[in-house]
A and B are shown apart, each in its own frame.
Chain A
Amino acid sequence: MSADTAKGIRLSRRRFLQILAGAAGALVVGVRVAEAGDAPLPPEWLGNDFHDLGAYVRIDTEGNVLIGARDPDTGTGVATALPMIIADELDADWNRVSVVHLGLGVETGGNGKPQWTYGRQRGGTGDSIPAAWADLRYAGALARWLLTQAAAHRLGVAADRLRCEAGTVIAPDGRRVTYGSLVDDASKLDLPAQPPTPKPPQRYTLIGKPVGDVDAHAIVTGQAKYAIDHHEAEALVAVLLHCPWPDGSLASIDTAPALAVKGVVKVMQLKPEPGQPPGQTVIAPAVAVLAENTWAALQGRGKLKLEWKPGASASESSAALEQQAVALLGSQSAPTTRVRDDGDVEKAAKHAAIRVDATYYQPWLAHACAEPMNCLARIDKDQAGLVVPTQAPQQAFAVVQRLTGIAPGNIEIRVPRVGGGYGRRLDHDYVAEAVLLAKAMNKSVRLLWPQSEDFTHDYYRPASVYKVSAAIDRKRNVSAWNQRVASASALAGRGVPADRQWSSEVSADQLPAGLVPNFRSDWYAQASALPRGPHRAMPHLANAFAAESFIDEIAHQLREDPLKTRLRLIGEPRNIALGGGRMLDTGRLRNVLQLVADRIGWKDWLHSVNGLGIACWHMDGAYVAHAVETSLQNDTLGIERVVCAVDVGRAINPLGLAGQVSGATLDALSTALNLAITTRDGKVQQHDWKDYPLASMAQLPDSVETIIVPDDDRPPTGASFLAMPTAAPALANAVFRVSAVRVRRLPLMKEFLRLQ
């Protein structure tokens, strides 16, 4: 029995399928998460309050299929991939499918608590596809089952002798009935006692085929509406100005010049609510200028005369924090958490033939979303309506409900396509602001953060210092790996127990854990006033840079080809238990590594005028490797080629996956090359794209050669940030080969120029 079927049985008890005859003669199928326990509930207890488009699938009498994409699409392609799963199970004709971005599906449950219509709704955290895989296949399979039953009646043929293809049911004798003509009959049928069995993978027709982004046409014609593009008659525009210190306060303000600007209606102050965790209240004291249009609001903001009073954080600087981290790691003090301790590191170190040590420094990072923080909010006495660019509508909902007390079913949250997330929009400080302003003004408010606010008031990825030391035994094997990391946890203040705060900073099963018999990972907590939060691929981004650079340094000490060092370390194909149910499949890891090496022409690495670098990684059951070729001409560093191989199990949409791989690779290179947030006197020093420069076309490689390992035997894993962690170390390793400069500090370009 495959893991999939086991899950299916569990799901059939926990989740319920439902049909609903739509008002206009449509077949609507949804999946509902039961409210209590695991006991199966009869469908009629579940209610039939599927408003608008129903839950997931709606087929009309013309045969048009409308599929709802439940997870926000921040550019990860889930609005395409999730509907593909349903459409394949349904044997729909993809050309007749339209996709709608579902808003939050929330209703007031029996106890007044929210009840989620569509189950989990979250995007950009890499787990949309794995989480949807079972649910969505059942939704599609149920719709197909109903249509087939209806066709069986119509044709007088047993249902199991019928087959479905592109929106048609076909009898053995060749008679065909279209889905559209079966909708009326199908919607009158009873639900099956057991959820119908999804298709065997051999019969997939859409899953695994390259499919273009469902929003592509709307995007290239400028018709796609992001939250920031939504208007509402009479809405005021609120433009924000935040205090540079999260713990500062407003010392004085003269609003008269701002109010004198034509169109400015009001100036209001906002403050973080004490005791609320980060991301659920205003990020820092702020002043909002409300006006009839954005231009007036921006002008008003420019005319505000105010002074902020610094808080205790005004003594903080990123440079001092780094020195502190270095001191901490150099001291004898015990770690905040011993994350992992395999074998006996001290003993192995004592018997070492060679010792290798290095320290790696990584900067604070901002999310730098293209679409600035914004939110359209309307709050009436007992109704709330929002349009929000969020990655987690259920968390946005919690903020709205807390601040308004409105019944769950009366809160509408719409989530159009989102202009980038990368973890920033898992926090909802900007939603709190919009709600507070809309409530106070008794009017719709379109909140907008000028983009400079995004740079200066983010939940930053914490900077970190890594001190790693390895023992090499007489057989030239890595016998011990001892790493110590100091950083401020991104989870601090978020209700996560102190002994788990490391988990945003270090991955417990990061390579080479499992491969080195004596492996220790210690984490040292630092304090910082700078708001921190989840960031794309964290903590893997930072971990992989240090670990995969360090393995290269070990290879250098051994005077060995770094590919060979890695292959020796990885060893023969086998499964290694990493704890917590996680496995490392060394065969899959080897495979992606070998694939990129072959593609970039690694065999010739010693003779290449250019430098070749390589790195591999695994996260959440997926495997990735990068190979990078760099050139050095007249002291100018160039990235000539990049190859990336990924193994994510079954790939739902290989085109979308290739896009994620290409995108994450270039994002990672751009970040590694240029980007850092620094603070002085507690203030963030970057305000603009000029201070935080994403890579230009010229800095980046012309293409990303992507290899997707065909792997249809395993259920799909997420991939939106899989290609982030290894790009930077592969680049740094290639830079070393071409220049003999070992970059241990990011951003790379600045450090390279300093060392060169």
Chain B
Amino acid sequence: MAPAQAHGVPVVPDSVIVPEAVRSGIAVEINGERFVHTGDPQMPLLWYLRDVLQLTGTKYGGEHGGNGTDLVLVNDKPVSAIGQPMAKLAGKRITTVEGLAANDGTLHPLQQAFIDEDAIGCGYCIPGWLIAGVDLLKRKPHPDDGDIDQLPNSCRCGVQARVRAAIKRAAAGKAGQA
């Protein structure tokens, strides 16, 4: 519905197409959306996510990737976001913890299983565990303890036993049945 002209305010059409400015930069897809990084190509993905996009779910945990706190999926492979300069990421598909749930907000079964198992200490390392766990479940829908042992994360709050239970719950298709 177009607003009527009143008090000399110009009529605004229903939709306006503004051509996007031509920018050169590094195009990446993050959680299904396209972004173009125009800053320093050497900036690690972690700081692009956290400082530029303010997607702060991926946590800083040290210059060498901490304890897996900064894991993200790049083309479905878990990698440490601080070790990935933007220059290496042109055209790549990136998933962060913010991108694990479906668009309608439905949680990934592993996210739901973390809630069901109360697999949370301070919570700071949890996004990293989720990325590693989602990747594991994708590769091995029914991981055994030995598979879970391979996860690269660790946690000062001691959440490991509850994470193991959450992964098993998600694998058993029981997430959401707390």
Contact = CB atoms under 8 A, between A and B. Distances in A.
A6 interface: no
B30 to A, nearest CB: 12
Given A229-B56, A417-B123, A659-B162, A295 B51 contact: yes
B51 A663 contact: no
B156 A370 contact: yes
Given A229-B56, A667-B157, A689 B64 contact: yes
A621 interface: no
Interface in B58-76: 58-64, 66-67, 69
15 contacts: A216-B118, A220-B107, A222-B57, A222-B100, A222-B127, A295-B40, A295-B47, A296-B40, A419-B59, A420-B157, A662-B158, A694-B154, A697-B154, A702-B145, A703-B165
A703 B161 contact: yes
A213 B120 contact: yes
Contacts of A298: 63
Nearest to A695: B154
Interface in B147-170: 148-151, 153-165
B66 A451 contact: yes
B64 A222 contact: no
A221 B100 contact: yes
B141 interface: no
B7 to A, nearest CB: 32
A422 interface: yes
Given A220-B114, A689-B67, A666 B124 contact: no
B36 interface: no
B94 interface: no
A8 interface: no
A448 B57 CA distance: 17
A702 B40 contact: no
B124 A371 contact: yes
Interface string A654-678: 0110110011111110100000000
Contacts of A46: none
B100 A663 contact: no
Contact of B57 (A213, A223, A293, A665): A223
Chain B binding surface, main DSSP class: loop
Nearest to A292: B51
Interface string B99-112: 01100000100011
B114 A216 contact: yes
Contact of B107 (A221, A422, A655, A665): A221
Given A216-B118, A224-B123, A666 B62 contact: no
Given A226-B59, A370-B66, A702-B145, 14 more contacts: A75-B157, A212-B116, A220-B111, A221-B101, A229-B56, A369-B156, A418-B122, A420-B121, A420-B124, A421-B122, A451-B63, A659-B118, A689-B67, A694-B155
Contacts of A703: 161, 164-165
Given A216-B114, A262-B40, A452-B63, A700 B56 contact: no
A342 interface: no
Contacts, number: 192
A450 interface: yes
Contacts of A668: 158
User: Lowest 3 A-B CB distances belong to which pairs?
Assistant: A222-B57, A75-B122, A666-B158
B157 to A, nearest CB: 5
Contacts of A296: 40
Contacts of B54: 231
B63 A450 contact: yes
Interface string A481-514: 0000000000000000000000000000000000
Interface string A213-253: 10111011111111011010000010000000000000000
Contact of B121 (A262, A663, A698): A663
B62 A450 contact: yes
B62 A704 contact: no
A422 B158 CA distance: 12
Residue from B107, B127, B156, B164 having most chain A Cβ neighbours under 10 A: B156
Contacts of B44: 295
A654 to B, nearest CB: 11
A636 interface: no
A222 B120 contact: no
B61 A293 contact: no
Nearest to A700: B160
Contacts of A656: 118
B149 A697 contact: yes
Looking at chain B, what size class is its interface with the partner chain? 35 or more
A688 interface: yes
A658 B120 CA distance: 12
B122 A700 contact: no
A452 B98 CA distance: 27
A208 interface: no
A220 B67 contact: no
A335 interface: no
A368 interface: yes
Given A370-B59, A670-B158, A689-B67, A216 B120 contact: yes
A223 B54 CA distance: 11
Interface in A515-545: none
Contacts of B171: none
A417 B148 CA distance: 28
Nearest to A724: B158
Nearest to A302: B63
A220 B122 contact: no
B122 A74 contact: yes
A751 to B, nearest CB: 21
Given A222-B97, A225-B56, A229-B56, A696 B47 contact: no
B124 A220 contact: no
B125 interface: yes
A615 B158 CA distance: 20
A701 interface: yes
Interface string A69-112: 00001110000000000000000000000000000000000000
A362 B162 CA distance: 29
B81 interface: no
B130 A702 contact: no
Nearest to A655: B118
A215 B159 CA distance: 15
A688 B100 contact: no
B66 A212 contact: no
